[in-house]
Structures are given as structure tokens and as C-alpha cells.
A and B are shown apart, each in its own frame.
Chain A
Amino acid sequence: MKQRRYPLLFITIGASIVVFFLMNLTIGTIAIPPSSVWNILWGIGDEAPVWQNIIWKSRFPQTLTALFAGAGLSISGLQMQTLFRNPLAGPAELGISSGASLGVALIILLSGSVGGVALSKAGFYGELSISIAAIIGAMAVMFVIILIAQRVKGNVVLLIMGVMIGYIATAIIGVLKFFSNDEDVRAYVIWGLGSFSKVSGDQVYTFAILMTALIPLSFFLMKSLNLMLLGENYARNLGLNIRRARLLTILSACILTAIVTAYCGPIIFLGLAVPHLCRTIFQSSDHRVLMPASTMVGASLALFCNLIARMPGFEGALPINSVTALIGAPIVIFVLLNKRKNELNE
């Protein structure tokens, strides 16, 4: 009975992705009718070059970024929550986002005050170096975490280490901000608000290809994650190599977060909220259901958030992180309240 609902749910979520995707292309300060969007996408008819430009140069890359970022962060969040058996774990909790932020802060703020170059104004190369800095920062933290993971046994300790590394990174960023000029600080703050439209031109396709390769790879961990639900000892007794499984899970979650953060800045709340939403919608803890579900719901929700942020009138005014928080937080609250109610009813 429960099994039979899954296909219907997946079809519904799939449909919502298509609808939100097209709405993202259609809606904006300049309204382009759906039929024209359709024609432009398939390269038929002759639509105004301005419209073609808007679609291909701005809206399509942004929509694609939102889609993949949402999917990647949600999987990362799901992996973290299962690994740490903690409903509050998310991509940010291991300090990965903070690491990326530290990398970006170092390059934006130091290039200004030490190098005398305003990186925020350096165009394409500026963007590229920011992405690279974010990845380096995230990876550096990841290696520290993995080193710690090899040494400590408990996952709680590891989680606390991650949070502490996050604090240290934030503290260093604070010091850097204090000594930087206003313009660079502003550039850094704007990066920190997150955006799906940072990625320009062909970089989007690199991002899309990376994510298309990495997301299916993370699916290989489904059986391990299911066993981890039982706790470390039971999982080990069922033949799971805990050390390896933990390492691979951290690696997978970190790489996904690092890449998304490099391209979009630290996007909050999606990674935390989507797994909760999926567990409630699908009434399951089985990762064979939750992994594809989180991928799809994450993509759908990110597209929806992007849509809200780009509503006519808001264009450029609403940072994506405000939208994800405004939508994500109520979802988490709703899910938790609903869970209590179910527990009482049963």
C-alpha cells in the first residue's frame, strides 16, 4: 500500500520540476510568453534576439544552476543527517561552507588590502579565482575533518569538531573584514548571501556536468547509509566497513557542498530542510527512496526559491539565502510539529 504511492509521488515531483523550470524561464522583469520560451529552447521560429539573449545568457544558466545546486545540497544534507544521526546536521555543519567562505574572504579581502587589486571588479577572472578559492577553502577543511575522522571514534565528537572549525573560520573572517576596505567587505558580504546567477557563460555547463557526474556517484552509498541508520555497532555486525563508509560519505557530502558553494556561495537551509521534507512526504527512512527523492525535491525547491527571488518587483532585490531561509525554516518547523502529532496519534 505504501509502496504503491511512490511512483505517483515521484511523477508529481518530476512534474513540479518541469513546471518550475519553465516558469523560471518565463517569469521575470521582462515577461516572455511560454510559447516563445518553448521556441527559443528548441531553436525554432524566430523570436526577438533580445529575448533569446535573456533566455540563453541569463535565465537558462541561472535556472540550471538552481536545479543542480538544490539537488547537490539536498543529497549532501541527507548524507550528513544519516551519518551523524542528527536531524540538525546539514552541509554547513562540518565547517565545509565556512571553509569555502574563509577561502573567498581571504582572496577578496586580502587582494584588496594587500595586493591593491579590487578582485570584486576583475570580471571573469575575478569570478574564477573566487570559485577556486572557495573550493580550496572547502577542501582544506574537508581534509582536516577526514584526518580527525580517522582518529576519533564517535560521530558526535566529529560533528562538534566541524562546528568548532566553522567558528574558527568565522573568527578569521571577522578579523579580515575589520582590516579591509568597505568595498571589498561589501563584495564579500554579497558573495555570502548566495546567488544562482553568479555563474556566467560556459562555467554553468562545467558546473552542470560536474554535478551530473557526482550526484549518481553518491547514490552508490545507499546501502551503507541504510545500515548506518541502525547505529555503528549494528552496521558493523552486518558486515559494513564503518571506517570506509564514513570516509566515503564525508567525501561525497563535502565535495558536493564545496562545488555548489564555489559556484553559488553558501546556500543555506536547502540541505537541512529537503531531507526532512522527503522523509515526511515519503514516510520512509530507506535511502533507496530518500536519495532520489532528495535529489528531485531539492531541485524543485531550489527552482521555486529562485522563482520567488526573481518575481517581478523583487528582481535583484531578494538574495537567494533570504528566500531559502524564509521557505526552509517553516518547512522544518512544520515537519517537526507534524512528526510530534503523528507520534502522539499512533
Chain B
Amino acid sequence: MKIVVCCKAVPGVVTEVRAEADGKALQYQGQFLAMNDCDESALEEAIVLKRAHGGEVTVLTMGPVTALDTLYMALAKGADRAVRVDAQLQDPQCSSVVLSAALKKLEYDLVLTGAQSRDTLSGQVGIAVAHRLGVPFAYAVVDVQVPDSSTVRVRKELGGGRYAHVELSLPALLCVQTGIQPLTYVPPARMMRARQQPVRSFSLADLGLEAEQLVPRGYRFVDVFQPRRSSRVEFLQGAPQEIAATLLTKIKEAL
């Protein structure tokens, strides 16, 4: 089975966030880029599926050269190939245009993505990619079974302790939740070897796209701000013992 995993490098810390003058994107300083957590879970699932059913795993990312580390990490974990699309986009629709164009250049039976990225928190890209590719999809997937070469059977979360079992014909796209597989540790030596492996690179032109097509439509950012803490929050300070005594009083009042 040929599996493509879409992995995104997301910043661990962001500062100086503001909307650009035309409101079409955000500017910010991001530090400590790392693979988005549910994308990493999707990658681990892909590697487990490959070991069980054969085939190959390609990891695909869209991002600047600083996103290469995410691909090396994926190769070190066991991906066979890595592809980077050289573009930086925040809008989910534009991202789905680029990723689906890249996927059309690759071979796949199954596409895995994380359910949501930690930076934009929109959870739209996977499903939008599936729509553009014309393949069935399932969201919040926590288990994948492959009964035969043309089908996957998944368990997906519905919330509140409910799950659905869904059967999809291949090719298909699955948006994966964290926890589907344990995360594997990558020893530094393997990471060093992974850095020697080639990474295929696509420009937008390689995908037949132009930057002008990839402008967010239909909305603009008005402003970005730190959410107010609830006006009710009262911060307790002092030595742990004092705080504990105050907390106990507050707990008793609430019961």
C-alpha cells in the first residue's frame, strides 16, 4: 500500500502576532518549529501500516526550508521518501489547493493527515484536500484496519464516548487523532543519517500553480489579540501552604 502522510511544521512559541495591512494573513515570529502532534501520530500509523501490509510511506510538507527538519524527522522514523512544497500559506483552502496538486504528482492508496494543526486550529485542510482529490474521508480516526487491498475500516471519534466504524473504498484520506499509535523515539545517529537522504522539492510552478491564485478569498483579519482571561479569575499568590489554605476555603464555599 502506498501511503502519503501530510505533516506540518508548527512553531512551539509565537510572538509579535499581528494582521497584515490588507488583513489577508497574519505576521508573527515563530520559534521552536516541530512536527504538529497529530501529524506525527499519523506518520506513526503510516509506518505501522507499512510494516503490516507492505508498501511505502511518503511524507509531504508545505513550508519554507526551515520545515526540512520535520521531513528528516519523518525519514528517521521510517518514512521512505520526503517531498517539500516550497510555499508558505495560512489559508486552509489555499493550502488544500497546493497539497492536492502535489498529491496528484505522487502515487497513493491512502493519504493520512493530522486532524488539526496547533497554529491555525481550523481542522479544514484534510477534508478540503479529500474533496479536491475526489476521495472519501474520515475525521478523528483512532484506529485503521485494512481488510483487503481496496478497503480500509476505521474507528473514529464522535465525542462523548461514542465511536463510529466506517468503511471507505481506496484511495481514501484519513484525518488522524493523537494517541492512535505511541510516538517513537529517534536516536541522534538515525537523525544524522536521515539528513543525508534526498528531499524532493516542488515549487508552485512545478505544480502548475501561481502565487496570485493562492490568495485567501472571502474574509480578512480585523485584529488579533490575547484573549481576556475570564473577568472572574482571581490569581492566588504566596507560599504553597498559604495558597493551599485559601484554596481549601474556596473549595468548601463551592460545595
B is a partner of A: no
User: A residues engaging B (CB < 8 A)?
Assistant: none
